[in-house]
A and B are shown apart, each in its own frame.
Chain A
Amino acid sequence: MSRSGEHFHPLSRLLHWLMALLILAMLFVGVSMVGDLSPRHTLLVGIHKLIGLALLVLVLIRIGVRLKYGAPALPGDLPALQRLAAKASHWLLYALMLAMPLIGWGMLSAGGYPIPLHLPALLPHDLKLYAVLRLAHGWLAYLLFATVLVHLAAALVHGLIRRDGVLRSMLSGR
């Protein structure tokens, strides 16, 4: 894994911002559709499943790109605790980005629901398993949202207050 360079690879940046947008949309669509009784519910659930599966493909590509091109090193003067927090939160984000779509797919399988695009069932039809996955899909989504908020705040502190080049490394190549 190379750590050279001050900026993320252009492909990494593209994936980062595209997925940031889609994941935020998924989180907002997800919590609003489950409380909605109108025909918007039908539309949003359909979109949610398709974008969710697209995000599964994107996260796999992204993990590959990350392994190939690496990431710029954090600033040398960053306190150890913040360094740890940065590493841990990035791991958590990757784990959740991978887990959420897989749980969505697995949950449809376990619930005996049809799966979009005629994809095969990931898991057997099992109501109790469905219950666990459906709860996990909800709670991990909240965890993902909280992590995204912390990530957003930290990025802005880097960019607007520390002004240490961390935010710029994801914004531009210059």
Chain B
Amino acid sequence: MSTPLQGSARLARLAAIGLLVTAVAAGFAYAAGWIGPDRLTPKRIIDTFMSQAGYYPGYRKNHAKGLCVSGYFQSSGLAAPLSRARVFSQPTVPVIGRFAIGGANPLAPDANIPTRSLAVQLRSDDGELWRTGMNTPPVLAVSTPEGFYEQVLAMTPDPATGKPDPAKLQAFFASHPESAAFRQWAKDYKSSDSFANSAFHSINAFRLIDTAGNARYVRWRMVPVAPFEPLPAQVNDKDYLQHDLQQRLGQGPLQWKLVLTLAEPGDPVDDPAQPWPAGRQEVDAGTLVIDQVYAKEAGACRDLNFDPLILPGGIEPSADPILAARSSAYAESFNRRSRESAGLGERS
């Protein structure tokens, strides 16, 4: 029943089969980015962080220096009508968190870095997880991942001074007028003397979904209960903020209010560089209580990826491109440090 093809027809068909298989393989290589136009990838961003700060196996590739903490969130119930996420109605939600300073160097002196961060995971009793990473600035200098990458390049330390080249920074800001709000913040910002009296902002917007399916855009921030005290002019302790945190938590728990800011129609919900007009409605969703801190490079936060798109039902991402880029870059960072801690090499 089999009648094999012979001669030139056979050759032609063999060639066609070879061509088809090659085309599928080439399509795969293209989809993977192995061939084709040069793209900004999560890998390139992480490589750039590492080439600037150095190679520190096992550490996060940004916000590398931090401490794990834990505590709980007491919801006020006031946000429950806005979002069906259980965290807004459950009286007490367990929290795992991490305080950190910006930058990819885990040995940087705390006091030199204006950007501080708080990342938290809330696990509600319906099994849903909410992870959010928040920074001290209320806005970013850029609106897109490409802009972010340019900013990172402009901040490359000059080998002579160890600091970014002011001319490059100036050129970057000049070509990125969307950074106006960020520059104003940086000009006015006075560093406080503690994580405990720092405010932390979601920067990116999200959508709250209520039980009827209605959506409202929000940004949120953690507002410290502890009063502001300025950072001393001269700080010699490289781990100043970490020691301060340990000392304060030795005396008792620390608190922040989770404040939601609701957008009005027309507000720039997809642009992390633009603040929303003053006077937007705010909702006090509850109180974050942090009562325990862990030793360096220990604690439950260490092996978590605080991907800002790990959200419970009732909270959804906005279309902000930076938010998506964060999710992708955090996965790359997490993959690399997992491999490094398992001794499986540094590269992807």
Q: Is the CB of B305 within 8 A of A111?
A: yes
- In the docked arrangement, what's the CA distance between A164 and B342, Å? 50
Would you list which residues of chain A between 106 and 154 have a CB under 8 Å from chain B? Answer: 111-114, 118, 125-128, 130-132, 134-135, 145, 149, 152-153
User: Shortest Cβ distance from B315 into chain A, in angstroms?
Assistant: 13
Cβ contact within 8 Å between B28 and A31:
yes
Please tell me if the beta carbons of B127 and A118 are within 8 angstroms of each other in the complex. Answer: yes
| A127 with B341: CB separation less than 8 A | yes
Select which of B33, B145, B344 is within 8 A of A131 by beta carbon: B344
**Would you call B338 and A127 a contact (CB within 8 A)?**
yes
Whether, in the assembled complex, A37 has its beta carbon less than 8 Å from a beta carbon of chain B, the answer is: yes
Contacts of B285 in A (CB 8 A): none
Q: How many residues of A contact B (CB 8 A)?
A: 42
**Main SS at interface, chain B:** helix
> Knowing A27-B28, A42-B309 touch, does A165 contact B2 (C-beta < 8 A)?
yes
Interface residues of B in 21-68 (CB under 8 A from A): 21, 24-25, 27-28, 31-33, 39-43, 45
Encoded as 1 (CB less than 8 Å from any B CB) or 0, chain A from 30 to 51 comes to 0110111111111001000000
Say which residue of A32, A112, A118 sits within 8 Å of B32 (CB atoms): A32
Give, as a whole number of angstroms, the nearest-CB distance from B88 to chain A: 18
Size of the B side of the interface (Cβ < 8 Å), in residues, is: 55
Q: Which among B168-176, B238-246, B325-333 touches the partner chain?
A: B325-333
B73 interface residue per 8 A CB criterion: no
- Which chain A residues have a beta carbon within 8 Å of chain B's beta carbons? 27-28, 31-32, 34-42, 45, 75, 77, 111-114, 118, 125-128, 130-132, 134-135, 145, 149, 152-153, 156-157, 160-165
User: What are 28 pairs between A and B in contact, CB < 8 Å?
Assistant: A27-B28, A28-B31, A31-B28, A31-B31, A31-B32, A32-B31, A36-B41, A36-B328, A37-B45, A37-B145, A37-B325, A38-B145, A38-B321, A39-B323, A42-B327, A114-B128, A127-B341, A127-B342, A131-B335, A131-B338, A134-B339, A152-B20, A156-B20, A161-B4, A161-B5, A161-B13, A162-B4, A163-B3
Interface residues of B (CB under 8 A from A): 1-5, 10, 13-14, 16-18, 20-21, 24-25, 27-28, 31-33, 39-43, 45, 127-129, 145, 302-305, 309-310, 317, 319, 321, 323-325, 327-329, 331-332, 334-335, 337-339, 341-342, 344
The 3 nearest A-B residue pairs measured at CB? A164-B2, A31-B32, A131-B342
